[in-house]
Amino acid sequence: MTSKKILVTGGAGYIGAHTVVELYTNGYSPVVIDNFSKSDRTLLEGIEKITGIPVVFYEGDCADKEFLKRVFKKEGKFDGVMHFAAYKSVGESVEQPIMYYRNNLDSLLTLLEVMKEQRVNNLIFSSSCTVYGEPDTIPVDEQAPFKKAESPYGATKQMCEQILEDVVKADQNLNVISLRYFNPIGAHPSAMLGELPIDKPNNLVPYITQTAAGIREKLVIFGDDYDTSDGTCIRDFIHIVDLAAAHVKAIDKLSEAGENKGYQYYNLGTGRGVSVLQLVKEFIEVAGIKLNYEMGPRRAGDVVKTYANPTKAKNDLNWSAQYTAKDALRDAWAWEKKISTSRK
């Protein structure tokens, strides 16, 4: 039996690249597209080192319809698509909303048009816990309403999910699973693959590891006066390899024979809430080093407290997180040491 071919948009990015590894190791044939707007070729090399397989790759923009059509034509029919290509920084989206709406909506709409033309019917979409806004109750399950998004980034994810729900309603053949990520952190345990921000990192863990490696002078914790146990925000930090593995479970589910599966959505988190300060302390413990950090003002667009109820993914996808936040921090630090040494 030939293995199933999956188009992976944004496959050279942090979540995409780890998922490509899981796809290969589970017998799928991923085909990566990426425009390197927020990534470079390093992670593709990492995938090849881990799997020993040369990545099938096309450079281009997911919002470029002619480019997408060329890829579909060249590769023949895909069994499914995983759509990672999007901007993902809360803070940046507050500063550059037009760029976020344009990029995140255009790429999904273009992809859906081309999938329809090419009769490709299975899609896994990268959504986010930001769709819930500031949730009324935590842990958050999938029944929680979409409250007003705290940032343009969160709003793009809400809009994309609305688009997907409407498109699925209108097309009996289309099956979509949106995966609502909590906070992916860490790196591949081999230290061959990890997060690689091309500029100054926006996310917490790469900022921590770059500070520890001496690339950044100090970490600023954005707000210590929130209504939480230690005043800092609460998140559900999930190991990137766990998150990647869930995508394979999701595409397995869509690939099962049977009737139309419609529109489904799942939280991907550990179910454990950890404060930003707690995570920083866990990092210091795991890495066994000092870290220069200080408390600073709140960041616009931040949700205060959120963590997942991941029961639905466990029941329907037979998936649950296996790693702890400490495992993820240890792996992130091993990766940072490796890349910062190779950059010197």
State which of residues 149, 221, 240, 317 lies at the interface with ligand UDP (CB under 6 A).
Answer: 221
Identify whether the C-beta of residue 109 lies closer than 8 Å to the C-beta of residue 163. Answer: yes
Q: How far is the CB of 304 from ligand UDP (least distance, A)?
A: 8
* Cβ nearer to ligand UDP, comparing 79 with 302: 302
Cβ contact 306:129 at 8 Å: yes
153 is catalytic: yes
In the complex, residue closest to ligand UDP by CB: 233
220 in contact with ligand UDP (CB under 6 A)? yes
Query: Which span (20-28, 99-107, 198-206, 322-330) binds ligand UDP, by CB under 6 A?
Result: 198-206
CB 87 within 8 A of CB 103: yes
- Please, which residue, 123 or 238, has the CB nearer to ligand UDP? 238
**Could you say which of 4, 18, 38, 235 contacts ligand UDP (CB under 6 A)?**
235
CA 25/CA 290 separation, integer angstroms: 37
Residue 234 near residue 274, CB atoms below 8 Å: yes
Looking at the Cβ atoms of 114 and 155, the one nearer to ligand UDP is 155
Give the DSSP H/E element, type plus range, for residue 268: strand 263-268
Spatial separation of the C-alpha atoms in residues 131 and 17, rounded to whole Å: 24
Q: Which one of 68, 187, 204, 308 is in contact with ligand UDP (CB under 6 A)?
A: 204
Could you say whether residue 94 binds ligand UDP (CB under 6 A)?
no
Residues sharing a CB contact under 8 Å with residue 243, sequence separation 6 or more, in sequence order = 15, 18, 19, 181, 184, 268
What separation in angstroms does the CA of 87 have from each of 103, 113, 145, 147, 235? 7, 20, 23, 21, 20
Restricting to residues 115-174, name those near ligand UDP by CB under 6 A: none
List 80's β-bridge partners, or say none: 6
Minimum CB distance to ligand UDP, residue 286 (Å): 17
Which residues between 271 and 300 bind ligand UDP (CB under 6 A)?
276, 299
**Of residues 37, 40, 116, the one with CA closest to residue 72:** 116
The one catalytic residue in 153, 181, 263, 266 is 153
In the bound state with ligand UDP, the residue whose beta carbon lies nearer, of 220 and 291, is 220
Q: Which amino acid is at 248?
A: V
Q: Select 74 or 218, whichever has its Cβ closest to ligand UDP.
A: 218
Q: Which is nearer to ligand UDP, 29 or 203 (CB)?
A: 203
Radius of gyration over every alpha carbon of the chain, rounded to an integer in angstroms: 19
Using DSSP bridges, classify how beta strands 237-239 and 183-185 pair: parallel, antiparallel or unpaired: parallel
What character string, x for contact with ligand UDP (CB under 6 A) and - otherwise, covers 53-92?
-------------------------------------x--
Task: For residue 192, give both structure tokens.
Answer: 């061959």
Report the residue from 183, 209, 210, 267 that binds ligand UDP according to the rule CB under 6 A.
Answer: 183
DSSP annotation of 140: B
Active site residues: 153
In the complex, the residues that contact ligand UDP under the rule CB under 6 A are: 90, 183, 202-204, 207, 219-222, 233, 235, 276, 299, 302
